[in-house]
A and B are shown apart, each in its own frame.
Chain A
């Protein structure tokens, strides 16, 4: 490299090495600064993780228990879905499922039969939504119902029984093992009623499920409703790590050639919920803003003080011939290194902490339950582990720390050596 070596300046590599040596030499100072940065970053990462975790939870709840990632209907069904029609329906499920699973990004599919039902205990009759699920087959590949059982047990294909939402169970004051009558109408309009015992009670945190749904094996439902092998919808789960919108469009195009099908992504299935989430985001943003402010102040303050403390040192360097530029470079680097060290530390601890908390989940015993306003969240929440965002937060703080060191360095470098040396 043909460098013109200007006396009093140092190259970046040297700066870097010098910076590291300085940091190493003044351990206490470095550690105080780095630790401050680390803790501030840790707290910031945690709060971000908690707030986004909540939001994520509610999406997860929606996807895991209600909408899956997408649903496929016979054309015309969706517009009338509030009437719970049994026609138009999907009849050649096997082929359809094969087609769908062959699309990249699709993890699993499961057929479901949704129908209008009334539950009676002989005295009261309450309307609700009935769902026939492929118990021993694919339902738990797509949905996560088994995890929501709060009493009794999950269904098995052979036993005659139903899963009842906890809200409905409360209304009838029944528990697992009690019997209730289900009244519905076959696809042709004939009344059908059967008595079923409650195999398990479901508490998902999702009001639609808990207060309005009962579930029975798909074959029982098809028999009940004279549907033969037909179903009303095919629910689809995307693979973990697949890109949602890309997969959805791939799915839609794959099915375009098939006549009479309609695909709906989960966001389209639950518009009112999405509106709610948007509102909550702003509140969260404010909280995070406050935290960020404090983190910034804390870090900047620390670095400022650390740097001012070394004004004499700066004077010494200048006296020894280092140019202003070099001083600025040096302090910038030191500040940045220190900041990055601290933020890497803080982020790493945050990562471990979040991971650890997520093993068991964090029990906040909270249900927004009856209100229908708020996240459908169960009593255990998981924090979000968004590596990209964490990295961004970590890195930008490092940069911030560097800049924080720059200001006092610039000021100090403007003094003349003698003044700086005199600094106490």
Chain B
């Protein structure tokens, strides 16, 4: 049966309607835009913050996969040097050739007593290959005064806050006493060539960096280290990488090795759980807000035009079609707003990802080269989620007022109440 009304080009009609009253449509679109933009950006921002935490943890502590002596993790609190990974110079090339490996670093961590001006203080000594740590512990980037130690020289890079507490300046000589791999006593006298600021409190307050070869000398760890950190091309595949390394390396070392992914190492899981829940709440509130402003705006837009729709009803338009029309209008404006919102939000997020936002200006006079820059982590899924949530909310929001309107008798609607 011929039903010309059913074939009405609702979408085009909706679009024309929207264009007719620019002010109203604009306001509505802006509300949707801001909502979607905020959601998109915040996802990126929160993602960036979480990423940041995990990233720092991986680079300074756990790697994606960590290789130690089999008994080391159990006694880790004591930083036992005699439980070490030997033949490191042979193991590293083997690990490096593995296709899933992006980088490998070997480090020694050991507790030392710092003797300076007749005072003894505890500290944590980290021996590392500074060049190879670029992109990982980034020790060279932390230097804020003086210069980094040279391999082959007994030189120290000291955490800036530790230096302050001990009243150590660049050029001073420190004596470090500690264990050796044979459980005996070892020591080294070295010159402080630089101060480091990482922005990470545990580092700046406790750590001394020295070239790996020097620490090996001091601790009698010939070609050995306390740990090897492996970084994967894809961190999500850490488990597979660990298994594969286990197969390759086990049997190469007497006493056995313990190969753990970053998730195995305990602290990360706790950290994720705790930050995850806080961020979850924040995102939830965010979505509520976004929904709120969209719904509220749509509600008002539609109700405002009760008269108009009453007119259409009086002229014979079917109820269903009126509802459809209203929905379509919501859709049109929604698409425009959500699309722009997604684009702008992504733009901000991407910009933040590239350049970072340096908040050191907000931090009274202290400069933190590494940590005080906030990055974002933009993923395509963010604007996509934002877009669909925006549209869904916009269209959904039109439903209630639409139904109300069509339930009115045309005469009432015309009166505009």
Binding site for B on A (CB under 8 A): 28, 32, 35-36, 39-40, 43, 46-47, 50, 54, 82, 126, 171, 272, 275-276, 278-279, 282-283, 286-287, 290-291, 293-295, 297-298, 301-302, 304-306, 308-309, 364-374, 377, 424
Binary A-proximity of B24-47 (CB < 8 A = 1, otherwise 0): 100100110011001001100100
Which of A286, A297, A298, A373 interacts with B374 by CB under 8 Å? A286
**Residue of A28, A367, A370 most packed against chain B (CB within 10 A):** A370
* Complex interface residues of chain B between 348 and 375 (CB less than 8 A to chain A): 359, 362-363, 371-372, 374
- Asked whether B17 is an interface residue with its Cβ less than 8 Å from the other chain, the reply is no
- Asked whether B274 is an interface residue with its Cβ less than 8 Å from the other chain, the reply is yes
B371 touching A370, Cβ below 8 Å? no
The size class of the interface chain B forms with chain A is 35 or more
B27 touching A365, Cβ below 8 Å? no
Stretch in B98-106, B253-261, B291-299, B317-325 touching the partner: B291-299
Distance between A279 CB and nearest chain B CB, rounded to angstroms: 7
Nearest chain-B residue to A276 (Cβ)?
A: B201
B363 touching A365, Cβ below 8 Å? no
Distance between B205 CB and nearest chain A CB, rounded to angstroms: 6
A305 touching B285, Cβ below 8 Å? no
Given the interface pairs A40-B293, A43-B289, A272-B205, the reply to whether A371 lies near B271 with Cβ below 8 Å is yes
- Asked whether B202 is an interface residue with its Cβ less than 8 Å from the other chain, the reply is yes
Nearest chain-B residue to A80 (Cβ)?
A: B119
- Asked whether B150 is an interface residue with its Cβ less than 8 Å from the other chain, the reply is no
Determine the main DSSP class of B at the interface with A: helix
* 9 interchain residue pairs of minimum CB distance: A366-B274, A298-B293, A370-B267, A36-B296, A297-B34, A369-B270, A364-B277, A294-B289, A305-B300
Which of A279, A293, A308, A372 interacts with B202 by CB under 8 Å? A372
Which of B27, B42, B273 interacts with A301 by CB under 8 Å? B27
B161 touching A272, Cβ below 8 Å? yes
- Asked whether B286 is an interface residue with its Cβ less than 8 Å from the other chain, the reply is yes
Nearest chain-A residue to B75 (Cβ)?
A: A124
**Residue of B267, B296, B362 most packed against chain A (CB within 10 A):** B296
- Contact residues in B for A374 (Cβ distance below 8 Å): 271, 274-275
B273 touching A278, Cβ below 8 Å? no
Which of A272, A278, A295, A377 interacts with B289 by CB under 8 Å? A295
Binary A-proximity of B85-122 (CB < 8 A = 1, otherwise 0): 00000000000000000000000000000000000011
- Contact residues in A for B169 (Cβ distance below 8 Å): none
Which of A282, A290, A309 interacts with B304 by CB under 8 Å? A309
Distance between A288 CB and nearest chain B CB, rounded to angstroms: 10
Which of B24, B41, B271 interacts with A368 by CB under 8 Å? B271
**Residue of B205, B267, B289, B362 most packed against chain A (CB within 10 A):** B289
Nearest chain-B residue to A302 (Cβ)?
A: B296
Complexed CA–CA distance, A286 and B288 (Å): 18
Binary A-proximity of B319-347 (CB < 8 A = 1, otherwise 0): 00000000000000000000000000000
Complexed CA–CA distance, A295 and B301 (Å): 19
Distance between A293 CB and nearest chain B CB, rounded to angstroms: 7
Binding site for A on B (CB under 8 A): 21, 23-24, 27, 30-31, 34-35, 38, 41-42, 45, 49, 57, 77, 121-122, 161, 199-202, 205, 266-267, 270-271, 273-275, 277-278, 281-282, 285-286, 288-290, 292-293, 296-297, 299-301, 303-304, 307-308, 359, 362-363, 371-372, 374
B202 touching A294, Cβ below 8 Å? no
Distance between B35 CB and nearest chain A CB, rounded to angstroms: 7
A370 touching B266, Cβ below 8 Å? yes
Distance between A305 CB and nearest chain B CB, rounded to angstroms: 5
- Contact residues in B for A306 (Cβ distance below 8 Å): 300
Nearest chain-A residue to B57 (Cβ)?
A: A371
Q: A279-B199, A293-B34 are in contact. List 8 more A-B contacts (CB 8 A).
A: A40-B289, A43-B285, A82-B121, A302-B300, A304-B27, A308-B27, A366-B277, A370-B267
Distance between A334 CB and nearest chain B CB, rounded to angstroms: 16
* A–B pairs, 10, beta carbons within 8 Å: A28-B303, A32-B299, A40-B293, A279-B372, A287-B282, A294-B34, A298-B292, A308-B24, A368-B270, A424-B21
Given the interface pairs A291-B285, A301-B293, A301-B297, the reply to whether A279 lies near B363 with Cβ below 8 Å is yes
A364 touching B274, Cβ below 8 Å? yes
Distance between A113 CB and nearest chain B CB, rounded to angstroms: 23
Given the interface pairs A40-B289, A54-B278, A279-B363, the reply to whether A309 lies near B270 with Cβ below 8 Å is no
B201 touching A272, Cβ below 8 Å? yes
- Contact residues in A for B299 (Cβ distance below 8 Å): 32
B289 touching A305, Cβ below 8 Å? no
